[in-house]
């Protein structure tokens, strides 16, 4: 029998994941009076839109830039800075954060914190390992440190499907069944600083079989590095899957060799660090914007529903929130 959720203003909702999808979902739910608890294993907001910092350098090593067509998403990214890289098509419009692309997530988080200080609790650096039935009604969340939270009327996971399957392993639901059929892929990204700039465009798409994209971070607004070249080199899907178990040091050497083959002898390497995004994208998207099991009070959202872009994540979070609001 389908369980009827309480009116939205009476609902206590847990959202696992403080990336773009989770934040957007929380934003709309909080505006309608729900009480939300936001959990993320990272110490900051943003998920794959996070920014890695080292000394005076900043690397958008997940999402290199933002673009889109959804009106609400465009309103959000237009609060950032336009970026006009060489190598882009004239009709393309890109936006980036001045201090890093995690600015987008920070902006959304700041807005919902200011709007709903009494109905939002945020738990960063908190890894949720299990969702289980509460002693009364609803759901209880457990962390890897033995803490428990709840009860919640509704639990939303915006984690990558393999992680969500593990977290929701004790629950039999149409949501978990759908999640178990989704498979992600990894990508490697090299964060690189060279003493002088490479002979490359600001944005290079698929310059070799091993490299999917090169983004010149120093070309972004207010990120000049006194003549140094600052790059994020994203490995191709095939290369990343082939080298999924390689060490960061091995990936660095592979990527440097690829750059040497493309541009000739490299300037002195000042800094290099490889990062593996284990769940960077979805092999075959779900095909709809979200998953929601009203009878169980379980839902899931994320870019993997329809694609791999930040806009996909934003739309997924928006549509799930609206479905919950309409139901409540």
* Cα separation, 27 vs 181, whole angstroms: 29
Query: What's the predicted TM-score (pTM) here?
Result: 0.94
Note whether residue 240 is domain-resident: yes
Residue 127 located in a structural domain: yes
Give the per-residue pLDDT at 226: 79
Q: Are residues 125 and 263 in the same domain?
A: no
Give every CB contact of residue 186 below 8 A, 6+ residues apart in sequence. Answer: 240, 241, 244, 276, 277, 278, 279, 280
Residue 96 in any domain: the answer is: no
pLDDT at position 137: 87
Residue 73 lies in a domain: no
Q: Is residue 95 part of a domain?
A: no
125 plus 253 within the same structural domain: no
Helix (H, G, I), strand (E, B) or coil at 221: coil
Domain holding 212: CATH number?
3.90.660.10
**80 located within any domain:** no
Residue 28 and residue 138 share a domain: yes
156 falls within a domain? yes
Q: 39 and 127 share a domain? A: yes
Clarify whether residues 200 and 242 are in a common domain. Answer: yes
* Phi, psi torsion values for 163, nearest 5 degrees: -70, -40
Burial 170-205 (b: 16+ CB within 10 A, else e): ebebebbebbeebebbbbbbbbbbbeebbebebbbe
pLDDT number for residue 128: 98
Domain identity same for 297 and 268: no
The CATH number of the domain holding residue 178 is 3.50.50.60
pLDDT at 6: 60
DSSP state for residue 15 in the 8-state scheme? E
The answer to whether residue 66 is domain-embedded is no
Number of separate helices (H) and strands (E) present in the chain: 8, 18
CA distance 156 to 317: 10
Do both 201 and 275 map to the same domain?
Answer: yes
Angle at alpha carbon of residue 302, lines to 129 and 139, rounded to 5°: 40
Low-confidence ranges of the chain (pLDDT < 50): 1-3
In this structure, is the dihedral angle defined by the CA atoms of residues 283, 286, 287 and 288, taken in order, positive or negative?
Answer: negative
What is the total count of domains within the chain? 2
- 302 shares a domain with 233: no
Q: Are residues 134 and 217 in the same domain?
A: no
d(CA 20, CA 304): 12
Residue with structure tokens 């284990």? 278
Q: How does DSSP classify residue 33?
A: T
Containing structural domain, residue 192: 52-61+184-282
* Same structural domain, 236 and 117: no
Distance of CA 112 to the CA centre of its chain: 18
> What's the pLDDT score for residue 117?
84
- Both 244 and 263 in a single domain? yes
Does one domain contain both 119 and 256?
no
């Amino acid at each position: 029998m389908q369980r009827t959720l309480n009116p939205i203003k009476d609902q206590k909702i847990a959202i696992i994941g403080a990336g773009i999808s989770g934040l957007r979902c929380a934003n709309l739910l909080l505006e309608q009076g729900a009480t939300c608890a936001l959990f993320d294993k990272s110490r900051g907001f943003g998920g794959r839109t996070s920014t890695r910092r080292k000394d005076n350098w900043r690397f958008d090593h997940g999402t290199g830039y933002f673009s889109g067509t959804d009106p609400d998403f465009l309103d959000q990214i237009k609060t950032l800075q336009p970026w006009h890289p060489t190598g882009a098509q004239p009709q393309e419009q890109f936006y980036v954060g001045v201090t890093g692309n995690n600015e987008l997530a920070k902006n959304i988080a700041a807005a919902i914190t200011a709007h709903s200080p009494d109905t939002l609790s945020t738990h960063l650096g908190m890894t949720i390992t299990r969702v289980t039935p509460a002693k009364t009604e609803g759901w209880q969340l457990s962390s890897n440190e033995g803490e428990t939270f709840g009860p919640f009327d509704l639990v939303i996971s915006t984690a990558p499907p393999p992680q969500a399957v593990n977290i929701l392993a004790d629950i039999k639901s149409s949501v978990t069944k759908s999640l178990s059929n989704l498979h992600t892929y990894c990508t490697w990204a090299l964060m690189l600083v060279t003493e002088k700039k490479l002979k490359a465009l600001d944005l290079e798409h698929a310059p070799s079989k091993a490299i999917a994209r090169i983004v010149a971070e120093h070309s972004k607004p207010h990120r000049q590095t006194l003549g140094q070249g600052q790059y994020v080199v994203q490995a191709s899907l095939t290369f990343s899957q082939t080298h999924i178990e390689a060490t960061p040091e091995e990936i660095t050497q592979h990527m440097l060799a690829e750059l040497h083959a493309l541009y000739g002898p490299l300037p002195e390497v000042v800094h290099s660090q490889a990062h593996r995004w284990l769940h960077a994208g979805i092999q075959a998207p779900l095909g709809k914007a979200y998953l929601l099991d009203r009878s169980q009070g379980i839902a899931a959202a994320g870019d993997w529903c329809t694609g791999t872009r930040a806009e996909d994540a934003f739309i997924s979070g928006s549509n799930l929130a609206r479905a919950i609001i309409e139901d409540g």
